[in-house]
Chains A and B, each alone.
Chain A
Amino acid sequence: MKISNVLHLPAILAAALLALATLVEAEHTSNWAVLVCTSRFWFNYRHLANVLSIYRTVKRLGIPDSQIILMLPDDMACNPRNAFPGTVYSNADRAVDLYGDNIEVDYRGYEVTVENFIRLLTDRVGEEMPRSKRLLTDDRSNILVYMTGHGGNEFLKFQDAEEIGAFDLADAFEQMWEKKRYHEILFMIDTCQANTMYSKLYSPNIIATGSSELDQSSYSHHADNDIGVAVIDRYTYYNLEFLESEVRDTSSKKTVGDLFDSYTYEKIHSNAGVRYDLFRGGEEAARSRLLTDFFGNVQNVEVDGAKNSTIEEDLISLSKTIAALHKKYEEEEAALIKNSTAAARKKTTSQRKIQLAKPLTDDNWWTKKIAGATAIAGCALLWGVGSFFEGR
């Protein structure tokens, strides 16, 4: 027993050498955010503003655009009714332009569909889908899923045309869990009867919260009279207020529980709900998760110690030698093979044909016309013969 411990020592040492100062538990290695708005049209301005506010927050806390999937069905900034073209505001003071000049919408317009959303979560996408539109998470990824739009009992409407049911959502999360596509999920939804949407979830490690109970509406916070419509919903507004004032940067120690405790009926005008039971460790563990675990991008960086460059130089020279040896060996092999298969190879190369785009030519158009004319004449003849014999 003792000797085996001693023998493990080099491994421990070596690993510890690189990982000098990190004491934080390596829980997750990447943060992703899926931010979905499901409504179109000008009078739903506030839903797009909701999503863009959350987008701005997670970006502020360091999640890169490549790890944010933003679904926006409409473009409020360029709406002809927008009195402030090119901008979207979530507050009547219009202090922060949410649109800014650096916003990456991954799914827009009619791409925001239930099918695409489920495909995104389960990653069942075609070859043609660029990496920026995929949720490339693994079992070490924390995901923030934020949805807003018009909903009802156990459904959320997508673009007036279709709806996602609570069962669909639960099954999608289950498929993600089954394929180890997340570590923990914070699911937030701001819609009418929002809490019904997460009631069917059954996969582990999900904290869920919603803006209102069954048979309760979610309300907008305030309207901007110059824009002419409500600019943000209450639930999202108070979430943002908390995040802006309490989570100023990634070093914040505020927990999920702190955020949830800040919800009151007086502020939101509906009973915001929270679901902890799916989380490993239950309520206590869920509440103690840092907000930056979901809204921020916490990277456990590993700082190098003082440099000892000789080791690495050795590595390079070593590699060179080994590569040279390999090459020599391969050349010998190749020389052997070459002699025996030169003839065969020639054959295969000549057979390989590259499929090119078909060129537009009008060669042999005469023969074509004649063949065509013959065919037409044949049809006419058929008709003529029929008419002739039967016409008498």
Chain B
Amino acid sequence: MDGKVTIGRTAGLYIGAAVLRLAIFTLLPGIPDLLTGRVEISTPVTSFKRLQEGLFLYNHNVSPYDGGVYHQAPLFLPLFSLLPNASSYPIFTYLLYIAVDLLSAGALWKIADSGETVASALFTSPRKEKRWNGFIIAAVFLFNPFTVATCIGRSTSVFTTCAILHAIAKAVSGAPFSAMVAITFAGYLSLYPLLLLPPLVLLCYDRQRIERGIKSVIPFVATNIAVVAGIMGLLFGMSYLITGSWEFLTSTYGVQLTLSDLTPNVGLWWYFFIEMFDSFRSFFLGVFWLHLSCYVGGLTVRIRQQPLVVLTLLLGIFGIFKPYPSISDTSLFLALVPLYRHVFPLMRYTFVIAAVIMYATFLGPAFYYLWIYAGSGNANFFYAITLVWNLGQSLLVCDLMFAVLRDEWEVERPEMAGKEIRQI
């Protein structure tokens, strides 16, 4: 395979993805606004509509958080205010979103090419020959309908996705500082990526270059946490300077922590807190957040040999259990899943998972329509379908985890390869 062809293929892939998006943007002008309004894509903390509201207030010297509509990070505001007005010159916004998607694909490509998934520092899979190359992985990501829909819906979660993928890409290429910068950006934008820190720091530790590495674990971890804290402080400081008050902390992270906006989404929280007795509300907020974070420790310890697996599984879990999930979180998880092509044969429920996810994808909007517009259904319809959707995702998470563990186990006991097993 010579370099020219590779470059040509790469360019072709990127151009193809960009042209597809641009075509939808320009040829079907109704689609972007339609998707922007969909609850499956836009959550209160990522909605482009809300961003525009905040932007308008920001541009007119009013605190963007007045009115309780905008719940996103302050640094989005100067970024978007540098672009021409999104309603009169939407093309610049489109280009920005397309660029972000391509950058994410680039990071994914790097991760794939590093081979971290098949051969990490502490573990090498016996099936390592079977993996897909970066081209396929990037293509799966770029042409995944969920990714495309997120991009067209201009949800700001694409920035978080991009930052997380770059953090991983930097980590596997032995650049811990950049990885920490990227994950801090992601945490600053959406808060929950901070939970990825433990496996990410381990991944950095495993992949750091020998010549300038920190040998022992504890100083390494401490350094990285200090870097994250420092950059976070810097970002908060900039946000303070931009908005002129600390109000953004409660309006962005406070909303995520307390779930004060109960707009329906594909997650599990909103319905629960609509129905919850008021006196138990704060208790169950605590329970749900604990539930979200309790996997971090267990998974990190259990799959210590492959931190990237932990990251992938956590992203899947977050896509199910975070307060305001959308299909963008699923698309991020699905972007990482093909990296485990080598363990696909070990998965047991691929057909069920695919069927369930397709089923929910098609019925979800229909049930939402029945509930909100036709009035012939109620909230239970939509919630039921989000349950199915999340069931599909959790099946995928479990199955992937099973496959990875089985893969590890076969190294330990080669004589068992290919045999049927039973959990005890």
Residues of A within 8 A of B (CB): 115, 161, 358, 360-365, 368-369, 371-373, 375-376, 378-379, 382-383, 386-387, 389-391
B401 adjacent to chain A (CB < 8 Å): no
Interface residues of B, dominant DSSP: helix
Residues in chain B near residue A383, CB distance under 8 A: 178, 181-182
One of A161, A360, A375, A389 near B238 (C-beta < 8 A): A375
In chain B, positions 62-82 with a C-beta closer than 8 Å to chain A are: 62, 66, 75, 77-79, 81-82
Are B81 and A390 in contact, CB atoms less than 8 angstroms apart? no
What 4 new A-B contacts, CB under 8 Å, besides A362-B60, A375-B75, A390-B175?
A369-B81, A371-B241, A373-B82, A379-B238
Are A390 and B61 in contact, CB atoms less than 8 angstroms apart? no
- Nearest-neighbor residue (CB-CB) of A372 within chain B: B78
Residues in chain B near residue A379, CB distance under 8 A: 75, 185, 235, 238
B170 adjacent to chain A (CB < 8 Å): yes
Residues in chain A near residue B75, CB distance under 8 A: 375-376, 379
B59 adjacent to chain A (CB < 8 Å): yes
Are B175 and A362 in contact, CB atoms less than 8 angstroms apart? no
- Nearest-neighbor residue (CB-CB) of A160 within chain B: B378
CB distance from B53 to the nearest CB of A (A): 13
Q: List 10 A-B contacts (CB under 8 A).
A: A360-B60, A362-B59, A365-B59, A372-B77, A375-B242, A386-B170, A386-B181, A390-B176, A390-B178, A391-B175
Residues in chain A near residue B238, CB distance under 8 A: 375, 378-379
Q: A383-B181, A390-B177 are in contact. Are A376 and B231 (CB under 8 A)?
A: no
In whole angstroms, how far apart are the Cα atoms of A386 and B79 in the complex? 21
- Nearest-neighbor residue (CB-CB) of B209 within chain A: A390
Report the contact-size class of chain B (Cβ under 8 Å from the partner).
Answer: 20 to 34
In whole angstroms, how far apart are the Cα atoms of A382 and B184 in the complex? 12
In whole angstroms, how far apart are the Cα atoms of A373 and B238 in the complex? 11
Give 5 closest A-B pairs by Cβ, nearest first: A372-B78, A390-B175, A386-B178, A360-B60, A375-B238
- Nearest-neighbor residue (CB-CB) of A358 within chain B: B62
Residues in chain B near residue A369, CB distance under 8 A: 78, 81-82
Convert B92-135 into 0s and 1s, putting 1 for each residue whose CB lies closer than 8 angstroms to a CB of A: 00000000000000000000000000000000000000000000
Q: A360-B62, A361-B60, A369-B81 are in contact. Are A375 and B241 (CB under 8 A)?
A: yes
A-B contact count (CB 8 A): 71
Are A372 and B60 in contact, CB atoms less than 8 angstroms apart? no
In whole angstroms, how far apart are the Cα atoms of A358 and B61 in the complex? 9
Are A373 and B78 in contact, CB atoms less than 8 angstroms apart? yes
Residues of B within 8 A of A (CB): 58-62, 66, 75, 77-79, 81-82, 170, 174-178, 181-182, 185, 231, 234-235, 238, 241-242, 275, 278
CB distance from B198 to the nearest CB of A (A): 21
- Nearest-neighbor residue (CB-CB) of A365 within chain B: B59
**Which of B61, B174, B235 has the most chain A CB within a 10 Å cutoff?**
B61
Are B78 and A386 in contact, CB atoms less than 8 angstroms apart? no
In whole angstroms, how far apart are the Cα atoms of A389 and B82 in the complex? 29
One of A376, A378, A382 near B82 (C-beta < 8 A): A376
Residues in chain B near residue A358, CB distance under 8 A: 61-62, 66
One of A361, A372, A375, A387 near B178 (C-beta < 8 A): A387
Are A361 and B61 in contact, CB atoms less than 8 angstroms apart? yes
In whole angstroms, how far apart are the Cα atoms of A376 and B61 in the complex? 19
CB distance from A384 to the nearest CB of B (A): 10
CB distance from B249 to the nearest CB of A (A): 17
CB distance from A363 to the nearest CB of B (A): 6
- Nearest-neighbor residue (CB-CB) of B77 within chain A: A372
CB distance from B83 to the nearest CB of A (A): 11
Are B78 and A390 in contact, CB atoms less than 8 angstroms apart? no
- Nearest-neighbor residue (CB-CB) of B174 within chain A: A390
One of A360, A365, A371 near B242 (C-beta < 8 A): A371
In whole angstroms, how far apart are the Cα atoms of A232 and B181 in the complex? 69
CB distance from B317 to the nearest CB of A (A): 28
In whole angstroms, how far apart are the Cα atoms of A391 and B177 in the complex? 11
CB distance from A274 to the nearest CB of B (A): 34
Residues in chain B near residue A376, CB distance under 8 A: 75, 78-79, 82
One of B79, B176, B181, B185 near A372 (C-beta < 8 A): B79
CB distance from B173 to the nearest CB of A (A): 8
CB distance from B413 to the nearest CB of A (A): 39
Residues in chain B near residue A373, CB distance under 8 A: 78, 82
Residues in chain A near residue B62, CB distance under 8 A: 358, 360
- Nearest-neighbor residue (CB-CB) of A378 within chain B: B238
- Nearest-neighbor residue (CB-CB) of B62 within chain A: A358
Q: A372-B78, A376-B78, A382-B181 are in contact. Are A387 and B175 (CB under 8 A)?
A: yes
CB distance from A164 to the nearest CB of B (A): 13
Residues in chain A near residue B181, CB distance under 8 A: 382-383, 386
CB distance from A117 to the nearest CB of B (A): 15
In whole angstroms, how far apart are the Cα atoms of A364 and B244 in the complex? 15
CB distance from A210 to the nearest CB of B (A): 27
- Nearest-neighbor residue (CB-CB) of B58 within chain A: A368
**Which of A161, A372, A383 has the most chain B CB within a 10 Å cutoff?**
A372
CB distance from B220 to the nearest CB of A (A): 15
- Nearest-neighbor residue (CB-CB) of A383 within chain B: B181
In whole angstroms, how far apart are the Cα atoms of A112 and B175 in the complex? 59
Residues in chain A near residue B185, CB distance under 8 A: 379
Are A372 and B82 in contact, CB atoms less than 8 angstroms apart? yes
CB distance from A203 to the nearest CB of B (A): 24
- Nearest-neighbor residue (CB-CB) of A364 within chain B: B61
One of A363, A371, A372 near B61 (C-beta < 8 A): A363
Are A389 and B177 in contact, CB atoms less than 8 angstroms apart? yes
CB distance from A163 to the nearest CB of B (A): 12
In whole angstroms, how far apart are the Cα atoms of A84 and B77 in the complex? 54
In whole angstroms, how far apart are the Cα atoms of A369 and B174 in the complex? 36
Are B175 and A386 in contact, CB atoms less than 8 angstroms apart? yes
In whole angstroms, how far apart are the Cα atoms of A290 and B242 in the complex? 71
Residues in chain B near residue A382, CB distance under 8 A: 181, 231, 234
